Amino acid sequence: MSALLYLPGLLVILFKRHGLMVTMRHLLVLAVTQIVLGQSFLAEDRRAYLQNAFDLSRVFMYKWTVNWRFLDEQTFLSRSWARGLLVGHVSVLVAFGLFRWCRSDGGVSAVLRKGFRHPMRAPMLPPVSADCKVIPPPANRRLLIGVVDVATVLMTSNLIGILFARSLHYQFYSWYFQHLPFLAQRTKYPLLLQ
């Protein structure tokens, strides 16, 4: 499940760097992979598999919560709390999508307009690659900014998911803590506060 927390950020990056059609192709690959991996379960009892594999109404055990330990058990287990976390998660993702992740590219409306106007092309001109040695020196700075932007989008997408998770195992934190110094460095706070 922790890999799914990166999905909103990944979709933004795919759309910005590869365009609508390539993003749709990647989504199709994800869906087909889920179907192929779940084929034996789908063949046995399709309804039970779909209902239980993607059960968003599942009630988590209070004793395993890490994020919301300060709440009493009744509040933690309530449907309204679960809905509130879901609404908060989606709202913050939308806010980051609208105001942060596409800001350096002219805003989300510019990215969407270019992406839907030419669905076979990437809406943004500068490519993002991790290999800075192949690109001529004047372009290195723009490329490095692109790589940092990709890391920032993916890590903030994950952080938002972790902050609004109803229940997390401690291992999620051990996988995530390495992101915090990078994200702190990306803020405009003074070094001492970071």
Mean pLDDT of 156-184: 83
Q: Please check whether residue 97 is in contact with residue 12, taking contact to mean a CB–CB distance below 8 angstroms.
A: yes
* pLDDT tens, position by position, 98-151: 888 888 777 888 888 888 888 887 766 455 444 333 344 455 445 444 666 888
Mean pLDDT of 73-99: 92
At residue 193, what are phi and psi to the nearest 5 degrees? Answer: -70, -35
Residue with tokens 């490519």: 127
Q: How many domains does the chain have?
A: 1
Q: What is the pLDDT of residue 134?
A: 39
Mean pLDDT of 21-26: 92
Mean pLDDT of 45-70: 80
Q: What is the pTM of this model?
A: 0.78
Residue 194 falls inside a structural domain: no
Residue with tokens 């890590």: 155
Q: Please check whether residue 176 is in contact with residue 158, taking contact to mean a CB–CB distance below 8 angstroms.
A: yes
For the ranges 21-35, 41-55, 84-98, which has the lowest average pLDDT?
Answer: 41-55
Query: Could you list the residue range(s) of the whole structural domain that residue 90 is in?
Result: 2-185
Residue 139 falls inside a structural domain: yes
Residue 192 falls inside a structural domain: no
Q: What is the pLDDT of residue 147?
A: 63
Torsion over CA: 104, 110, 112, 116 (sign): negative
